[in-house]
Amino acid sequence: MSLEEPRDAKPEIGVTDDGLDYDALAALLGDTLLDREDHVTTEGFVVRPDDVQDALRTLKQEAGFDHCSCVTAQEYQDRYESIYHLKKYDDPTHELSVVVPTSRDDPVSQSANDVYRTADWHEREAYDLVGIEYEDHPDMRRILLPETWQGHPLGRDYDQTQPQVVTLREHANPLQEDHMADDTDTMFINVGPHHPATHGVLHLKTVLDGEQVADVEPDIGYLHRCEEQLCQQCTYRHQIMPYPDRWDYTANLINEWSYARAAETLADIDVPEYAQVLRTMSAELSRMAGHFLALGTFALDVYGEFTAIFQYAFRDREIAQDILEDLTGQRMMHNYFRLGGVVWDLPNPREEFFEKTRDFLDDLPAKLDEYHDMITSNEIFQVRCVNTGVLEPDVAKEYGATGPVARGSGIDYDLRRDDPYGYYPELDWDVVTEDGCDNYARVLVRMQEVEESAKIVEQCLDLLEDWPEDERTLQSNVPRTIKPEPDTEIYSAIENAKGELGIYIRSDGTDKPARFKIRSPSFSNLQALPEMSNGEYVADLIATLGSLDIILGEVDR
Amino acid sequence: MSSNDKTTDTLSTQDARMGQGADDRFNSPLREAFGSTPFILTKFDKFMNWVRGSSMFMLQFGIACCSIEMIHTYAIKHDLDRFGAGVPRSSPRQADVMIVPGTIVSKFAPRMKRVYDQMPEPKFVVGMGSCTISGGPFQEGYNVIKGAEEVIPVDIHVPGCPPRPEALIYGVAKLQERVANGESAPVTVKPYEMEQFGDLEQDEIVQKLADQIDEDDLVMRYNWTDSP
Ligand code: SF4
């Protein structure tokens, strides 16, 4: 991006030593700005629906907001609203929400797709679930629900009992589509929705030109489980917490933190330090489990190998799960966090838990060497991964890529460090980045992150061991029912195993959220797949998909 | 000839059955178990059921969170292969057991039905997790099918969210037992069938969709109110 150069030269508008100067930003927008709202961690700038592109472009180019993290759509009694949550890759604590109200009779607003490529899918989702239409959008159709669906389920007057008709058109006659059409030399194939390489139920509409991918379009929504609707039906205090475990279901526990962080900031709840250490430790163990699985399944994709590496990876994941089971009582759906702390302390006898976890950590370096021998230094593996699935950093930013995918493209962005929470700032660890931008770099990042997680867990264990017995507070005092002030809005994010997992909550004064929006990292990362695979071999498409490490539960929510 | 006769006299039936030229290495424990009887008598059906139950080819089929625990069941430590059911096949045409591991939503149900239809008979289904029983934690969702039995018949339900690998193994073992005994699942109510669009009852929604869907397109119609 040529635009980046002047940014280095002159300071971005609105940046001061202690955060953002919203007045300066408001001045930058000038007349386009209709109003300013107070959100909990940031401000909302209200703009007219036909000024969206101008406003966003100014903010991106002159104020440096290069990360469109999420687009939230919602319906009020008298209007629709789209909110663009903007951030900076350099400093994610610099946040700004751009609020676009549209009337109820004619919910049309300008698309932000020209400014941020990532807005494409986000706006399609907004259209699908809430019913706002975006002008100039290249491809305004449903994304999560079937195309023949009637109504917009997160709108106010949706009738959930009305019948629906869903077609099986795409696969109606697979053979006919499999053969080359007479007048072209390309071939259309469906990868998925039931396919061993898609890691769940993803459907890739792929057009091949010989061995090469001419065009690929991910078709998602085969696991759209209405998580947002269900969270809106649940009370803050206890009922929502089980759901996050089911978003990214390979590294479950970290997701709970996203909800915990959002709700705790919203309701102003403190978390005792001891609980923060427990949270940090368990989250990192869970991250390790997720990365082991990513490694194993990636080896499966690349070598098609079910015996050695896959089993090794599962052996290690099994141990991490075991430890987490000792701590939380469940192998996968831990439900361990509570607002204001965690549910219980380490299992008794504590020594046994420490010993078991330490054993796991002690064995790890040797195991990682083994992985490097078998995977990363393997020639076949390198041929498959080096320089395939290239994602340039500026493209990654356009698509809002985060997590190991962004860090494998050299983007130094990790919310654990950049937007600190939990006990991370107190501990000694590094953010891993690799400059390769290819499949290989992403695998390396994950493997090194396992080492970093091990470091964090180790330090947490030391802390927990020495923690005085009478100061082991697990939860702070939290009211039995939580009712945040009406119309408070918050967007906050954490770093889960796949990247930036953000939650937007708007309260309406009751004990349930009025709008609950999930920003999932896999959703944005998957969106970059066509950029990475067009023109490459079809086999590399599979490798690229594997190295993105998407989890459909999180993509579709 | 007389010398030959003599040998027959002294040989045990088992040795005689082995014939000349075969040595002890061919004497398997199974053979010993059958003892002197060179034949087994059984019903062909019974034999087939035993075979079916003892060597199951599973469909490699991942849907949601439960599939992670299903992979653990195949993988090291739990190793479903010990029970003669650990060969995941990627193609439904080679599989005879389908483990349904996860939440089924409206967009996926017709595809799952298609995959099920592609499996050769006889085929069996293990429903894994609460989602395949009732929709589980997502039962109230606008898009969630309230259990796998709405779409395909299920032989064994393994409850849990997710069920532990041990529980899934138990479920598969139970299925093997049933198959070996020649039992099959009761016929279940299946409100959601795949039909041609033209055959649907002409009501409001069908008329609305008439210009989007061809008469002979396959569709699944969800009447949410009739769901259990
Ligand atoms: S039963 Fe639970 S673990 Fe299994 S798919 Fe459903 S929500 Fe996920």
- Residue A155 touches chain B, beta carbons under 8 Å: no
Q: Which residues, 6+ apart, have CB-to-CB distance to A386 below 8 Å? A: A436, A438, A439, A440
Q: Are residue A363 and residue A476 in the same domain, yes or no? A: yes
Helix axis angle, A350-371 relative to A308-328, nearest 10°?
Answer: 160
Q: Is residue A172 part of a domain?
A: no
Q: Is residue A527 part of a domain?
A: yes
Residue A223 has pLDDT above 80, yes or no: yes
> A148 alpha carbon to ligand 1 midpoint, in Å?
27
Residue B51 has pLDDT above 50, yes or no: yes
- Domain interval for residue A243: 227-556
Task: Categorize the per-residue pLDDT at A10 as very low, low, confident or very high, splitting at 50, 70 and 90.
Answer: low
Provide the residue ranges of all domains of chain B, joining segments of one domain with +.
Answer: 46-180, 194-226
Of ligand 1's listed atoms, the one at least distance from the Cα of B162 is 3
Of ligand 1's listed atoms, the one at least distance from the Cα of B130 is 1
pLDDT tens per residue, range A49-83: 888 888 888 888 888 888 888 899 988 888 898 99
Inspect the interface and report whether the beta carbons of A332 and B67 lie closer than 8 Å: no
As a whole number, mean pLDDT of residues B180-187 equals: 73
Residue with tokens 């919602």: A74
pLDDT tens per residue, range A31-48: 778 788 888 888 888 888
Of ligand 1's listed atoms, the one at least distance from the Cα of B137 is 7
Fill in the amino acid letter for B162.
Answer: P
Inspect the interface and report whether the beta carbons of A194 and B61 lie closer than 8 Å: yes
The total number of structural domains in chain A stands at 2
As a whole number, mean pLDDT of residues B31-40 equals: 64
Q: Are residue A236 and residue A131 in the same domain, yes or no? A: no
DSSP, res A372:
I
Q: What percent of chain B has pLDDT over 70?
A: 78
How far from A400 is each of A218, A258, A501, B47, B218, CA to CA, in Å? 17, 18, 12, 59, 37
Residue B108 has pLDDT above 50, yes or no: yes
**Mean pLDDT score of chain A:** 85
* CATH code, domain with A92: 3.30.460.80
Contact (CB, 8 A) for A501 and A255: yes
Per-residue pLDDT, B41: 73
Distance of CA A213 to the CA centre of its chain: 26
Q: How far, in Å, CA of A491 to CA of A503, rounded? A: 6
Closest approach of chain B CAs to the CA of A73, in angstroms? 18
Pocket lining: B147 vs ligand 1, CB cutoff 6 Å: no
pLDDT tens per residue, range A112-161: 888 888 888 999 999 988 888 888 888 888 888 888 888 888 888 888 88
Q: Is residue A221 part of a domain?
A: no
Instruction: For residue B228, say if its preceding peptide bond is cis, omega within 30 degrees of 0.
Output: no
Inspect the interface and report whether the beta carbons of B103 and A201 lie closer than 8 Å: no
Q: Is residue A174 part of a domain?
A: no
- What ipTM goes with this model? 0.85
Q: Is residue A8 part of a domain?
A: no
pLDDT tens per residue, range A170-212: 544 344 444 555 556 677 788 878 877 777 788 888 888 778 8
Show which of A118, A135, A152 is a domain's final residue.
A135
Pocket lining: B65 vs ligand 1, CB cutoff 6 Å: yes
Q: Are residue A418 and residue A539 in the same domain, yes or no? A: yes
> Which CATH number describes the domain made up of B46-180?
3.40.50.12280
Q: Is residue A217 part of a domain?
A: no
Residue A304 has pLDDT above 70, yes or no: no
Query: Which SS3 state, helix, strand or coil, does residue A94 take?
Result: coil
Per-residue pLDDT, A379: 85
Q: Are residue A361 and residue A259 in the same domain, yes or no? A: yes
Q: Is residue A318 part of a domain?
A: yes
Q: How far, in Å, CA of A518 to CA of A515, rounded? A: 10
Inspect the interface and report whether the beta carbons of A165 and B106 lie closer than 8 Å: no
Q: Are residue A237 and residue A130 in the same domain, yes or no? A: no
pTM score: 0.86
Pocket lining: B161 vs ligand 1, CB cutoff 6 Å: yes
Pocket lining: B158 vs ligand 1, CB cutoff 6 Å: no
CA-based nearest residue in chain A for residue B77: A315
Q: Are residue A119 and residue A236 in the same domain, yes or no? A: no
Q: Is residue A157 part of a domain?
A: no
Show which of A95, A116, A135 is a domain's final residue.
A135
- Residue A304 touches chain B, beta carbons under 8 Å: no
As a whole number, mean pLDDT of residues B127-150 equals: 88
Per-residue pLDDT, A66: 87
Q: How far, in Å, CA of A164 to CA of B142, rounded? A: 10
Task: Show which of residues 396-415 on chain A sit within 8 Å of chain B, judged by CB atoms.
Answer: none
Inspect the interface and report whether the beta carbons of B219 and A194 lie closer than 8 Å: no
Pocket lining: B162 vs ligand 1, CB cutoff 6 Å: yes
